[in-house]
Amino acid sequence: MAVLTLSRRHRALITLGPATLGVLLALALPVIARWLAGFGVALPFGFVIKAVAGVDAGWEVAVQVAIFGVLGVLASAEILRHVTRVTIAADEVELRTAGDRLVLARADIGALYPERDFLVVLDHDSRRLFHGEPGASRARLGDAFRDHGYPWHDDDPFADLYHRWEPEAGRLPIDVEAVLSARAVALRKKAGKEAGELRETLQKLGYAVRDDGADQFWRPLVRR
């Protein structure tokens, strides 16, 4: 069995880094603001610069340090909340993200591969079973999955099948076009939950979709 998560060094960087940066910013911003205000010229957001430059008393600096430090701690918590712990056994893979737990039987996994900083797991019909941010590097993931006999790929095995979605291009069934149109609206609104639900709808219709910014790329599902 292999358990893959953040290394101690990376966890320490994520836990302490944002708070430390916040404290340093809190101490440096008043100095920088006073330097900018000293030019005596109109600056964008000049009222903000003047307000920050006025932070001079010890208690004011302490309050600002506390605020920025807390913001850093909250940022660390948000980052850690999205990190997935991967446990690989001979017969199943467990994926834990915050309070969520997903267990995938080995027999149901058709392919695994890295996509930028994410781990993607597909079934034998090339449907997406999981997409998340693992704490481990792609090299560690690849070695662990290969050692346990899982179908690991260094890249998307279906990358050549994707096509950029162009509205009303006539290449897709009407119901698929309608779902992609609705999903484009959800992406523009940054409605992640809705976009995810529409992805599931597309898979039920026999199509997979991936995003590149606001652009959608589709492909038919493929049985392996």
- Give 184-200 pLDDT, tens digit per residue: 999 999 998 999 999 99
Q: Which of 123, 147, 171 is the last residue of a domain?
A: 147
- The partner residues of 105 in beta bridges, in order of sequence, read 92
Residue that the structure tokens 């219709």 belong to: 205
Kindly state whether residue 12 falls inside one of the protein's structural domains.
Answer: yes
Kindly state whether residue 155 falls inside one of the protein's structural domains.
Answer: no
Q: How many CB atoms lie within 10 A of CB 135?
A: 19
Q: Are residues 116 and 178 in the same domain?
A: no
Q: What is the pLDDT of residue 122?
A: 98
Ranges under pLDDT 70 in the chain: 37, 39-50, 53-54
Q: What is the pLDDT of residue 12?
A: 86
Q: What is the pLDDT of residue 49?
A: 67
- Please give the tally of structural domains in the chain: 3
Q: Are residues 77 and 88 in the same domain?
A: no
Q: What is the pLDDT of residue 46?
A: 59
Q: Are residues 135 and 184 in the same domain?
A: no
Q: What is the pLDDT of residue 166?
A: 93
34 touches 51 (CB < 8 A):
no
Measured CA to CA, the distance from residue 6 to residue 97 in angstroms comes to 12
Q: Are residues 68 and 128 in the same domain?
A: no
Q: Which of 81, 105, 134 is the last residue of a domain?
A: 81
Q: What is the pLDDT of residue 22?
A: 87
Residue that the structure tokens 């090339």 belong to: 126
Kindly state whether residue 152 falls inside one of the protein's structural domains.
Answer: no
Q: Are residues 17 and 88 in the same domain?
A: no
